[in-house]
Chain A
């Protein structure tokens, strides 16, 4: 190493040091400890007792664990694809030459800025079985017995899915930025060839923004499997019959209500593995579909 290189290494590390310290203290150390705790019986107050894979084996027979996993997959399986379709279609609408575009964009975007807890309050009220706005509207449409959204186990998850669609504005803005980067000339030549709107969407727009779709898919997988605040605030400890007990909520309960820190860590590791696995599958299965302009 020359003197210059050594100097650069020193200055570089000095600048990066906040991240290095943060990485060691708030990531590497807790990740390691978490793995250790997941193999222990630990209640915070006494020292951890090594139990090997017991926590992981307990999960296999813990019906509530399976229920929380099923609930979470159910939520993700609907809210993620629905959210992606709704946000892409909204972005396409907003990308047309329309008057008042920035106003429309603001309107679709603002709900995604609403703090989760405050948004949850608004939706608890809207979804109220007796006086809620949604059921008023449904009664107007002739549905005499609209669902008790938050107290009927069959409707708690659909309620949360519906609510998640209200917050797609963030994704809409990401898509909108991507759509504006698609060269106009491609559409113009397609017009000359007499291509229909749907063909243009399918053969030009979607391929060209596929990296962004992929990005949103991955972020969506990571986010929807960890959803916590909405179900926790709206449905307390999991709602009627634990129908909205989501994975992250159950981890929280194990850690802070039951003081089963070891079990909570083990569940967190299983979540991490699921996230990695799904990300890997999503990456593998879409690889040949994604178009990168540089290649």
Chain B
């Protein structure tokens, strides 16, 4: 009975994991295939190359038509020619003598980057935005969270309730007025609308950091105050270093949000050279979608990869941060 339970448990976990991972594996597999293999029936997981004997050598070949051979009707014959020489004449060979060998096309990544034209600029814009928004969010949210947690001032809790309430407002409500505001400032078509706001503390991050700040004993600040330490110094030299894990979480979440943001760039950016990776990827798909699946998947892989690498580096912060949002909510 106990064993049966274990088998079911691991079966479900393995099956579920497979379902969750397959889309990403399929993406990578497609990204490494030549175009004709992306649409082959039945699909193959491992990108391959065909090899055949050619003048005594075993070389990669391109497959041509199937041909009839009256001498041996049961065995299909196919036309092949060397991959390296497109001018060579096709030769018929027995299909069963062809061999498949795994051959991922890493060149697809380079070709996809070239096909996207401004990939380098997209990356640069995205990184600039990530750096600016992470710095802005961490600094401004920490300041505000400090003011909401470690200084007692009249009306503090009422103001904080207002801050919490703003989280309920759906973005579409402020979307048009913000667009008009940035337009009157002449900021449409620049990166500015996408980062300036981050220097003015969003409620969610303030809330997260406030929870953390409150868990630090009050005596610590009081002792420093008695020693004549100014409030900003207490914040900067005592509290901030103690809150490194929470600041990491906020920075990490902001990085992800900026990297992933689609609606913001879609609304505010007009010139292709200012696009972010997310918007650039969508732009590429709208132009080349439905044909060059291998390049589209290679480009998608490149957009996803940094996030996955960061996840493995900062796994602990991710999990702690997400648990924090749920538990304290």
The interface centre, meaning the residue of A5, A123, A229 with most chain B CB atoms within 10 A of its CB, is A229
Q: Which of A95-130 contact B (CB under 8 A)?
A: 96, 98, 102, 104-111, 113-118, 120-126, 130
> Are A108 and B17 CB-contacts (below 8 A) given A133-B26, A173-B319?
yes
Q: How many residues of B contact A (CB 8 A)?
A: 93
Are B168 and A30 in touch, CB under 8 angstroms? no
Q: From A58-66, A188-196, A198-206, A264-272, give the one contacting chain B.
A: A264-272
> Are A107 and B17 CB-contacts (below 8 A) given A19-B140, A113-B307, A133-B43?
yes
> Does A21 sit within 8 A of B, measured CB to CB?
yes
Are B285 and A276 in touch, CB under 8 angstroms? no
Complex interface bits, B234-256 against A, C-beta within 8 A gives 1, otherwise 0: 01000000000000000000001
Complex interface bits, A11-26 against B, C-beta within 8 A gives 1, otherwise 0: 1111111110111011
> Does A69 sit within 8 A of B, measured CB to CB?
no
Complex interface bits, A233-275 against B, C-beta within 8 A gives 1, otherwise 0: 1001000000000001001100110000100110111011001
> Which single member of A23, A170, A232, A265 contacts B163 (CB below 8 Å)?
A23
Are A178 and B327 in touch, CB under 8 angstroms? yes
List chain A residues, Cβ under 8 A from B175.
Answer: 251, 255, 264, 268
List chain B residues, Cβ under 8 A from A116.
Answer: 260, 262, 278
Are A122 and B300 in touch, CB under 8 angstroms? yes
> Does A155 sit within 8 A of B, measured CB to CB?
no
Are B159 and A16 in touch, CB under 8 angstroms? yes
Are B199 and A18 in touch, CB under 8 angstroms? yes
> Does A8 sit within 8 A of B, measured CB to CB?
yes
Nearest A residue to B39, CB-CB: A131
> Does A44 sit within 8 A of B, measured CB to CB?
yes
Q: From B7-15, B56-64, B82-90, give the one contacting chain A.
A: B7-15
A232 to B266: give the CA distance in the assembly, Å.
Answer: 11
List chain A residues, Cβ under 8 A from B318.
Answer: 109, 113, 173
Are A16 and B144 in touch, CB under 8 angstroms? yes
> Are A117 and B281 CB-contacts (below 8 A) given A23-B166, A37-B177, A255-B179?
yes
Are B327 and A268 in touch, CB under 8 angstroms? no
Tell me, rounded to whole Å, the shortest Cβ–Cβ distance linking B2 to chain A: 12
Q: From B47-55, B70-78, B102-110, B145-153, give the one contacting chain A.
A: B145-153
List chain A residues, Cβ under 8 A from B323.
Answer: 173-174, 176-177
List chain B residues, Cβ under 8 A from A26.
Answer: 174, 178, 197, 200
> Does A166 sit within 8 A of B, measured CB to CB?
yes
Tell me, rounded to whole Å, the shortest Cβ–Cβ distance linking B167 to chain A: 9
Are B13 and A122 in touch, CB under 8 angstroms? no
List chain B residues, Cβ under 8 A from A225.
Answer: 170
> Are A216 and B326 CB-contacts (below 8 A) given A98-B13, A133-B26?
yes
> Which single member of A15, A131, A177 contacts B143 (CB below 8 Å)?
A15
A168 to B282: give the CA distance in the assembly, Å.
Answer: 23
Are B178 and A30 in touch, CB under 8 angstroms? yes
> Which single member of A16, A22, A113, A170 contacts B202 (CB below 8 Å)?
A22
Nearest A residue to B16, CB-CB: A90
A264 to B174: give the CA distance in the assembly, Å.
Answer: 11
> Which single member of B176, B293, B326 contacts A215 (CB below 8 Å)?
B326
> Which single member of A5, A8, A118, A228 contacts B281 (CB below 8 Å)?
A118
Tell me, rounded to whole Å, the shortest Cβ–Cβ distance linking A144 to chain B: 14
List chain A residues, Cβ under 8 A from B20.
Answer: 107-108, 110-111, 166, 169
Are B17 and A104 in touch, CB under 8 angstroms? yes
A40 to B328: give the CA distance in the assembly, Å.
Answer: 41
Complex interface bits, B157-189 against A, C-beta within 8 A gives 1, otherwise 0: 001001100101111111111111101000000
Beyond the given pairs A26-B178, A115-B307, A252-B263, 12 more chain A to chain B contacts, judged by CB atoms under 8 angstroms and listed by A's residue number, are A5-B154, A11-B151, A22-B140, A34-B173, A37-B176, A106-B311, A107-B20, A120-B282, A121-B297, A125-B30, A264-B176, A271-B173
> What are 27 sample pairs from A and B whose C-beta atoms fall under 8 A apart?
A9-B153, A11-B151, A19-B200, A19-B203, A31-B169, A31-B173, A33-B180, A93-B9, A93-B12, A102-B315, A105-B319, A114-B24, A114-B304, A114-B307, A117-B260, A121-B285, A123-B23, A124-B289, A125-B26, A125-B293, A131-B38, A133-B22, A136-B41, A174-B322, A174-B327, A215-B329, A233-B262
Q: Which 6 A-B pairs have the closest CB atoms?
A: A22-B200, A15-B147, A177-B323, A174-B326, A12-B153, A30-B177
Q: Which residues of A contact B (CB under 8 A)?
A: 1, 5, 8-9, 11-19, 21-23, 25-27, 29-31, 33-34, 37, 44, 90, 93-94, 96, 98, 102, 104-111, 113-118, 120-126, 130-131, 133, 136, 166, 169-170, 173-178, 181, 212, 215-216, 219, 222, 225-226, 228-229, 232-233, 236, 248, 251-252, 255-256, 261, 264-265, 267-269, 271-272, 275-276, 279
